[in-house]
Amino acid sequence: MKELLGKQRAVSVEEALMLIFNNLPARIPPSESINIEEGLARILAEDIYSREDLPGFDRSSVDGYAVISSDTFGASETMPLYLEIAGEIKMGEIPLERLTRGKAMKIPTGGMLPEGSDAVIMLEHTAQIENNLIEILRPVAPGENVIKKDEDIKFGELILKKGHKLRPQDIGALAGLGITEIKVFKKPEVAIISTGDEIVPPTKKPLPGQVRDINSYNLSSLIIEAGAIPMRLGILRDEYELIKNTLKKACEIADMVLISGGSSVGTRDYTAKAIEELGRPDGGVLFHGVMMKPGKPTIGGIVGNVPVFGIPGHPAAATICFFNFVKPVIKRLSGQNFAEFPKTIKAVLNKNIPSSPQRTDFVRVKIKTEGNTFMAEPIFGKSGLITTLVQADGIVVIPPERLGLEEGETVEVILFE
């Protein structure tokens, strides 16, 4: 059921996100099979259970002698015990015979324990006396210096969960289990429509009054960074039918649509009207205006199954809007579990930052080091300037209930990736 809350008044950041999430259709993203070599940072579309034990056999974790642990009990430097060398175990090979009482077999790190043996004594705790005789200089406990056959991973164990974003060690574990093909969710495709009579492509020299398209390049890279695939659908003139028809087509081919630009009231109205008209009766505009700075003119809605955002034209506003709304929705569309830790650092503010009540402020800051302390310097430029973002290392959030932050205060800085 569609909630109409956001159409009447500007909503808070949390309300806006909730409106989008509550109206996203429950849909399992499509999946594809890939080789683990292409798996880094992809999202698992299946639970991975082990089909075998790892390492699969009792394995020495040191260079030494495989022994029967009880044969070493009571041994010490002053009262060593003696064992006969019954042979040497070769890496990667099955020990040729069973180990019996009073005997030891030389074993390399990673070597397979012979039957009968239950521990390994490190080379440095032995001394070779004769060709086939060693002194044992200390006792070893059962299982000491041994990795048991299922100690790393047990047959049937759940190793990695559906929705997990694969890291290098996960790829390693899959390789270790012989799982080289995995099912991952397809990356969502995010269409970007640029609007604005003044916008020209970066390859064109702008005439007076025109500017080049910054946002769809900034947004494309943000989309890639978030794990999705950008589709730039070009720059549209501010004409209602054109915007509406392009949005309609975009909703047919993409999993999400961003309409960028529309910084003037006229374009914003076109964007909202097109979302509303195409989205009826089940979708349409969910909110139009968010109590935040920059990014107030953000529009959120649903057309069919497809989330659509009207992204403010100012570059800094577009970026904040991306982090607050677009990225969380991309993660949802990617099938990703939400347990991810924010990449933040604590820093000390080196200037006061004023702020208005009832509005969430997102202040760009530059990080400097002073001795062992990180200092956060607010960048106060207009949100229409791309350089305020280029100079910034991250963002400090001022919640609605605070009237600014004070110099010397310790703040949490959300780092750009």
- 51 part of the interface to its own copies, by CB under 8 A: no
Residues 6+ apart with CB under 8 A from 131: 85
CA distances from 81 to 26, 75, 135, 370, 409 (A): 69, 5, 6, 61, 66
Q: Is the peptide bond before 202 cis (omega within 30 degrees of 0)?
A: no
Residues 357-376 within binding reach of its own copies (CB under 8 A): 367, 374
Provide the 8-state DSSP code for 36: G
Smallest separation, CB 250 to its own copies (Å): 19
- Give me the residue label for tokens 């890939």: 34
Helices (H) and strands (E) in the chain, counts: 9, 26
CA atoms within 13 A on the CB side of 19: 29
Among the listed residues 413, 377, 372, 368, the one whose alpha carbon sits nearest the alpha carbon of residue 395: 413
Q: Which residues pair with 50 in a beta bridge?
A: none
Stretch that binds its own copies, among 10-18, 23-31, 57-65, 397-405 (CB under 8 A): 57-65
- Among residues 266, 304, 399, 408, which is the contact residue for its own copies, using CB under 8 A? 266
Smallest separation, CB 342 to its own copies (Å): 8
- 259 part of the interface to its own copies, by CB under 8 A: no
Beta carbons of 212 and 194 less than 8 angstroms apart: no
Tell me which amino acid residue 71 is. Answer: D
Question: Which is closer to its own copies, CB of 129 or CB of 415?
Answer: 415
Question: Which is closer to its own copies, CB of 270 or CB of 286?
Answer: 270
- Among residues 28, 131, 281, 341, which is the contact residue for its own copies, using CB under 8 A? 341
- 66 part of the interface to its own copies, by CB under 8 A: no
Smallest separation, CB 311 to its own copies (Å): 12
- 109 part of the interface to its own copies, by CB under 8 A: yes
Stretch that binds its own copies, among 71-79, 135-143, 383-391, 402-410 (CB under 8 A): 383-391
- 348 part of the interface to its own copies, by CB under 8 A: no
Stretch that binds its own copies, among 5-13, 32-40, 240-248, 272-280 (CB under 8 A): 32-40
Question: Which is closer to its own copies, CB of 76 or CB of 387?
Answer: 387
Q: What one-character-per-residue DSSP string does 62-128 give?
A: SSEEEE-GGGGTT--SSS-EEEEEEEEPPTTS--SS---TTEEEEE-TTPBPPTT--EEEEGGGEEE
Count of residues in contact with its own copies, rule CB under 8 A: 97
Task: State the CB neighbour count (10 A cutoff) for residue 46.
Answer: 15
- 53 part of the interface to its own copies, by CB under 8 A: no
- 337 part of the interface to its own copies, by CB under 8 A: no
Q: Is the peptide bond before 55 cis (omega within 30 degrees of 0)?
A: yes
Smallest separation, CB 279 to its own copies (Å): 25
Residues 118-157 within binding reach of its own copies (CB under 8 A): 123, 147, 151-153
Provide the 8-state DSSP code for 243: H
Strand 133-136 and strand 81-88: the pairing is: antiparallel
Stretch that binds its own copies, among 24-32, 105-113, 133-141, 328-336 (CB under 8 A): 105-113
- 409 part of the interface to its own copies, by CB under 8 A: no
- 238 part of the interface to its own copies, by CB under 8 A: yes
Task: State the CB neighbour count (10 A cutoff) for residue 182.
Answer: 23
Residues 210-229 within binding reach of its own copies (CB under 8 A): 210-215, 217-222, 224-225
How far is the C-alpha of 191 from the C-alpha of 173, rounded, in Å? Answer: 35
Stretch that binds its own copies, among 73-81, 96-104, 262-270, 400-408 (CB under 8 A): 262-270
- 401 part of the interface to its own copies, by CB under 8 A: no
- 34 part of the interface to its own copies, by CB under 8 A: no
- 105 part of the interface to its own copies, by CB under 8 A: no
Beta carbons of 367 and 342 less than 8 angstroms apart: no
- 116 part of the interface to its own copies, by CB under 8 A: no
Residues 84-103 within binding reach of its own copies (CB under 8 A): 90-95
Beta carbons of 138 and 11 less than 8 angstroms apart: no
Question: Which is closer to its own copies, CB of 266 or CB of 357?
Answer: 266
